[in-house]
Amino acid sequence: MTTHHDRAANPLREGLSNRPMPQPCTVVIFGASGDLTYRKLIPALYNIASDGDLPAALSVVGFARREKTDDSFRNELEEATRKFSRQGINEELWGSFRERIFYHKSEFGDLEGYERLAQRLNALDSARNTRGNRLFYLSVAPSEFGGILEKLAAVGLNNPAEGSWTRVIVEKPFGTDLPSAQTLNSVVNHVFREEDTYRIDHYLGKETAQNIMVLRFANAIFEPLWNHRYIDHVQITAAEPLGVEARGPYYESSGALRDMVQNHLLQLLCLVAMEPPTDLTADSVRDEKVKVVRALRPMKPEDVAHNVVRGQYTNGAVNGREVTSYRAEDRVSPESMTETYVALRLHVDNWRWADVPFYVRVGKRLPKGGTEIAIHFKAAPGVLFNRDSAVGPNVLVIRIQPDEGISLRIQAKRPGASVKIEPVKMDFHYGTSFGKASPEAYERLLLDAMSGDATLFARSDEVECAWRFIDLIEQAWHAHPSPPPLCQYPAGSWGPAEADALLERDGRAWRRM
């Protein structure tokens, strides 16, 4: 039998950041009747339990406005977990897991509700041996953050008892621009210390995103080539066949740039472009990432027109199904100028990446879903095999999802008497190599927060630097007297033709996914 002690001693289990085992605690979810709790958070906690990694003493308290009892909340969560758990549900395990879940009905603005919460948490600590450790999860609109934090502080719930800890997890969007992000940071840091603040970017919890650092720094063969001398360019793509679903109002005020690029895609870019950290502590890793964001070449309005393409989907068909245009989506303005697609040409202005373009694209209603990073190496010298006809370059593809893995395109001689060269793939698939499905991003992130490891969470300076860069583009789109066009693309296509032209101009093309 594996004990907690065995696991902690086994370096293979320590992961990217030498994470200690999670500690007993109570997770309090604000906004517990929202989608995230049902689809992600509870299934994630259940799967952690199913893997045997959940601390024996752990309680979950859902805090929300709607009328529910512990029992009705548990029943709803059971139904959701059956649907969304990656490992299905085991009746016996669920039977004991559900007993850890409680519901606390209160308005977010009602101080008395927080006083009752404090009493309830104390009672749960005694009954369930959770040792006064608390993890507050803010799964609410950013406009609610301030009020909730203020009330938590008013009843002293931000202050841990001697020998205990309190931490806060904050869901995105973390601001809508630099000033709002700064305000949010100061609101949160007024109540919780920065080291106790965990800003979720769920892309960092994805297995292959974590593997980027391992690929780069645990293998000797890649790092010597990982720079402007050998890399021609990098492409990062996040494609989704989905539209905006029921999130019209949020998406209208956000758009693809703020929704995905400011956070998820820039985080991936940082992992690809960062220097090796001196160690794997949260701050060493984040120190290196923030240097990348700081090195992003800022765009003037005229650069935006040249380097950024924004698009919006029109009617079309995705996977053979007719779908409406973005402007016809539920609660979206018929004249909306919100982008559902964006393609950017970026530069990281430092020694390693001098003159290497990073092409980043993200879009909704594309033909298929998938997130990948493709490192395109420079071609071999054209003196032997590729003298007459061009032999393609090597491309290292990191597939974040689906079918997580890494492949390397190399050139090989086709069997036969003549020398005919064709590209072939060396391919690593997580599923086949390790024989089990990767955990969901939220599983890893919740475990890390319970263990006090913030490596895979965004620090305030990273978030603010990313906004500083993104704001310049937003300003060029919205404030400039002659803003660049919003290009249209039919749903089910790979985005506007202008995005292809962005690369063609440089003699390059987007990778076909």
Contact residue for ligand BG6 among 53, 207, 232, 240 (CB under 6 A): 240
- The answer for residues whose C-beta is within 8 angstroms of residue 231's C-beta and 6 or more apart is 225, 356, 375, 376, 377, 378
CA distances from 426 to 397, 412, 510 (A): 10, 11, 20
According to CB under 6 A, which residues from 350 to 379 bind ligand BG6? 371
User: Tokens for 286?
Assistant: 């984040």
- Minimum distance between the CB of residue 34 and ligand BG6, rounded to whole angstroms? 14
The DSSP annotation for 27-92 comes to EEEETTTSHHIIIIIHHHHHHHHHTT-S-SSEEEEEEESS---HHHHHHHHHHHHHHH-TT---HH
H/E element holding 376?
strand 370-377
Looking up tokens 């100028």 gives 337
Nearer to ligand BG6, 166 or 254 (CB): 254
Torsion of CA 350, 355, 356, 362, to 10 degrees: 90
- Minimum distance between the CB of residue 261 and ligand BG6, rounded to whole angstroms? 11
- Minimum distance between the CB of residue 245 and ligand BG6, rounded to whole angstroms? 8
Nearer to ligand BG6, 172 or 345 (CB): 172
Q: Contact, 14 vs 7, CB < 8 A? A: no
- One symbol per residue from 395 to 424: x for binding ligand BG6 (CB under 6 A), - otherwise; what is it? ------------------------------
Looking up tokens 């949020």 gives 250
* Active site members: 264
Q: Contact, 370 vs 239, CB < 8 A? A: yes
According to CB under 6 A, which residues from 154 to 183 bind ligand BG6? 172
Rounded to whole angstroms, how far apart are CA atoms 6 and 10? 6
Q: How far is CA 481 from the centre of its chain?
A: 34
- Minimum distance between the CB of residue 363 and ligand BG6, rounded to whole angstroms? 11
Nearer to ligand BG6, 68 or 258 (CB): 258
User: Tokens for 338?
Assistant: 């919100």
User: Which of 58, 148, 140, 135 shows the shortest CA–CA distance to 100?
Assistant: 58
- One symbol per residue from 117 to 156: x for binding ligand BG6 (CB under 6 A), - otherwise; what is it? ----------------------------------------
Q: Contact, 310 vs 486, CB < 8 A? A: yes
- Minimum distance between the CB of residue 441 and ligand BG6, rounded to whole angstroms? 7
User: Tokens for 487?
Assistant: 């290009």
- Minimum distance between the CB of residue 33 and ligand BG6, rounded to whole angstroms? 19
H/E element holding 407?
strand 405-414
Q: Is 329 in the site for ligand BG6 (CB under 6 A)?
A: no
Residue nearest to ligand BG6 (CB): 259
- Minimum distance between the CB of residue 224 and ligand BG6, rounded to whole angstroms? 32
First-to-final CA distance of the chain: 44
Sheet with 101-105, strands from edge to edge, namely 101-105, 58-64, 25-30, 134-138, 166-170, 197-199
- One symbol per residue from 61 to 100: x for binding ligand BG6 (CB under 6 A), - otherwise; what is it? ----------------------------------------
Residue type, 86: R
Nearer to ligand BG6, 172 or 361 (CB): 172
Instruction: Specify burial of residue 460 (Cβ count, 10 A radius: 0-12, 13-18, 19+).
Output: buried
- Minimum distance between the CB of residue 494 and ligand BG6, rounded to whole angstroms? 17
Contact residue for ligand BG6 among 53, 78, 125, 259 (CB under 6 A): 259
CA distances from 456 to 93, 184, 350, 370 (A): 29, 20, 24, 21
Rounded to whole angstroms, how far apart are CA atoms 257 and 359? 14
Nearer to ligand BG6, 259 or 453 (CB): 259
Nearer to ligand BG6, 288 or 440 (CB): 440
Nearer to ligand BG6, 17 or 371 (CB): 371
Nearer to ligand BG6, 171 or 464 (CB): 171
Instruction: Give the interface size with ligand BG6 as a residue count (CB under 6 A).
Output: 6
- Minimum distance between the CB of residue 235 and ligand BG6, rounded to whole angstroms? 17
Nearer to ligand BG6, 77 or 260 (CB): 260
According to CB under 6 A, which residues from 187 to 206 bind ligand BG6? 202
**Which residues are at the interface with ligand BG6 (CB under 6 A)?**
172, 202, 240, 259-260, 371
